[in-house]
Amino acid sequence: MELVIADNRTEAGVLAGRIMADHVRRGARAIGLATGSSPLGAYQELIRQHREDELSFRGVQAFLLDEYIGLPEGHPQSYAQFIRDEFTSHVDFTDSDVHSPDGRAADIPAAAADYERMIAATGRISVQILGIGANGHLGFNEPGSSLRSRTRVKTLTPKTRADNARFFEGDLTQVPTHVLTQGLGTISDADHLVMIATGAGKADAVAAAVEGPVSAFCPASILQMHPHVTVIVDPAAATNL
Ligand code: GLP
């Protein structure tokens, strides 16, 4: 595992974006995207390189980590919409090449299996960007998730729903209770995992993920088992290392 302590949040985002851009320039067929605020700086860097340095995403498949169950199409907090608004619509991705689990499907377990099949059919994900939840979750793999899990339904913990209420105008009742998420096994199949964490609120989770025991109780500790991981933090998130 490579650990980078960036000077600040902006630099952390630029470094993560550069790593993703390198994979795309080297011919990545598929990349893994994440939502939440952590990867936004990386997406800004990719948008900049698209506009100024001819970085192109034509023909690249993008797979999102997770999606809420039950939000209507186009809901600004559905992850499919969020990634379009924050990243993919600002570069030259073809819409049909940007994939996310179908949180509106009539048969949710079938939608999970379909998503796994779609990723497998594309081949390998070259680079997967990741944030980390304050409780150590990756994607929506909450504490207790099997370290070898595949895409499936998860119930959000009260902590995660409370953390994410800020995206729903602070109204906890609007935060869905269930999600579809790639499993820790699915995430681990990517060639290169790049995790970005900034701010003091992530310091405990980062220390547990990087230096703690590998345990389902800190899902991000699965990073320690992967052959190619880059963790990029700012000084505040590195406090407990
Ligand atoms: C959400 C997402 C995760 C993300 C995490 C942290 O619950 N499902 O993929 O890493 O929250 O979010 P943030 O980066 O906004 O702190």
- For atom 10 of ligand 1, the residue with the nearest CA is 131
Q: Which atom of ligand 1 has the smallest separation from the CA of 156?
A: 7
Question: On the CB side of 47, how many CA atoms lie within 13 Å of its CA?
Answer: 15
Count CB neighbours of 234 within 10 A. 22
* CA of 219 relative to ligand 1 center, distance in Å: 13
Return the DSSP state at 78. Answer: S
92 located within any domain: yes
- For atom 6 of ligand 1, the residue with the nearest CA is 133
Residue with tokens 């000077």: 7
Q: What is the CATH number of the domain that holds 10?
A: 3.40.50.1360
Burial class (CB in 10 A: 0-12, 13-18, 19+), 21: buried
241 located within any domain: no
Q: How far apart are CA 62 and CA 84, in angstroms?
A: 11
* CA of 138 relative to ligand 1 center, distance in Å: 8
238 located within any domain: no
Instruction: Report phi then psi at 51, rounded to 5.
Output: -75, -35
Share of the chain above pLDDT 70, in %: 100
Q: Is the pTM of this model over 0.95?
A: yes
Return the pLDDT at 9: 97
Ligand 1 in reach of 41 Cβ (< 6 A): no
116 located within any domain: yes
Return the pLDDT at 216: 97
Return the pLDDT at 74: 87
Q: How far apart are CA 175 and CA 181, in angstroms?
A: 16
pLDDT digits over 126-179, tens only?
A: 999 999 999 999 999 999 999 999 999 999 999 889 989 999 999 999 999 999
Positions marked catalytic: 66, 135, 137, 142
Those residues with Cβ within 8 angstroms of residue 108's Cβ, 6 or more apart along the chain or in another chain:
69, 153, 180
Ligand 1 in reach of 101 Cβ (< 6 A): no
240 located within any domain: no
pLDDT digits over 45-104, tens only?
A: 999 999 999 999 999 999 999 999 999 988 999 999 999 999 999 999 999 999 999 999
**122 has pLDDT over 90:** yes
Return the pLDDT at 162: 94
The SS3 of residue 71 is coil
178 located within any domain: yes
* CA of 160 relative to ligand 1 center, distance in Å: 9
Return the DSSP state at 72. Answer: P
Ligand 1 in reach of 66 Cβ (< 6 A): yes
pLDDT digits over 171-219, tens only?
A: 999 999 999 999 999 999 999 999 999 999 999 999 999 999 999 999 9
Count CB neighbours of 118 within 10 A. 14
Look at the chain and report how many structural domains it folds into: 1
* CA of 36 relative to ligand 1 center, distance in Å: 4
Q: How far apart are CA 31 and CA 24, in angstroms?
A: 8
**21 has pLDDT over 90:** yes
212 located within any domain: yes
Q: Which domain holds residue 28?
A: 2-233
